[in-house]
Amino acid sequence: MVVVAHPDDECFAFGGAIALASDRGVETYVVCLTDGQAATYRGDAASGEELGRIRREEFAASCRVLGVTHHELLDYQDGRLEFAEFSRAAGRLVERMRRFKPDVVVTFGGDGSLNTHADHMIVSMLTTAAFHWAGRARRYPELAEAFQPRRLYTLTSNFFHPDRQRPLPSPWTVVLDIRPVRERKAEAFRQHASQAPLMERTKANFEEHGGEEYYTLLAAEEPGPARVGTDLFQGL
């Protein structure tokens, strides 16, 4: 289960991990909290609502390219996630975790990952809370039966966009070689036609660094020292 903030996060950030999981027959579920109406690049959209509709379709097309089993877009306002009611928003994720029962949950790092977007930071915090609360029967007892996912990973990075303030990334514990699915990740990104100028702007950076994705194991069943692995599902 992957939790993101905006249509296109699923591919530019997590596309490699999702495509690799899907190729292994892992059932995947991407939850996106907003429809991306506050984007800088607006394609031909005449209004925020129209852009939201366009980006909803682009998100669905990108998920198809990546082989996502289930995708869902919630109704939070782009650019305003920090003002959403925390407990209610986390509860919506708790409910989805309890129903889908993922082994592995993946989201952004607390630094906002790569472009340091505040929405990404909030998604990281909501998902972290939801991951732990999903397993606690006393939290949200009205929302399905408690279920504890086994691992939580957050995205981190070894490179940054030169035109943005540099975040403080968490150290990685998984280096994913995504070269076998790199072209599909790019193809998924191309489904976001409204964001084509963004793709152009970040292209050189992704060409240089795009062969790998980096993740931090944030929570696991057994206590122990961090080890660097090459697979989000190792030992599951």
Binding site for Zn ion (CB under 5 A): 5-6, 9
Q: Which is nearer to Zn ion, 6 or 98 (CB)?
A: 6
Q: How far is the CB of 39 from Zn ion (least distance, A)?
A: 9
Q: 115 vs 173, which CB is nearer to Zn ion?
A: 115
Q: In 3-state terms, what secondary structure has residue 74?
A: strand
**Which three-class secondary structure string do you get for 44-71?**
CCCCHHHHHHHHHHHHHHHHHHHCCCEE
Residue 100 DSSP SS3 = helix
CB of 188 to Zn ion, least distance (A): 14
Closest approach of Zn ion to the CB of residue 5, in Å:
5
Q: Which residues of 136-157 are buried (b: 16+ CB within 10 A; e: fewer)?
A: eeebbeebeebeebbbbbbbbb
Beta carbon nearer to Zn ion, 8 or 212: 8
Q: Smaller CB distance to Zn ion: residue 5 or 186? A: 5
Residue nearest to Zn ion (CB): 6
Q: Which is nearer to Zn ion, 24 or 40 (CB)?
A: 40
73: closest CA among 127, 35, 99, 121?
35
What are the φ/ψ torsions at residue 229 (nearest 5 degrees)?
-120, -175
Evaluate whether 169 touches 111 at the Cβ level (below 8 Å).
yes
Report the DSSP pairing between strands 104-107 and 151-156: parallel
Q: DSSP per residue over 142-183, as a string?
A: TSS-----SEEEEEE-S---TTSPPP-PPPPSEEEE-GGGHH
CB of residue 194 vs Zn ion: minimum separation in angstroms?
Answer: 13
CB of 6 to Zn ion, least distance (A): 4
Of 77 and 148, the one with the shorter C-beta distance to Zn ion is 77
In whole angstroms, how close is the CB of 154 to Zn ion at the nearest point?
A: 14
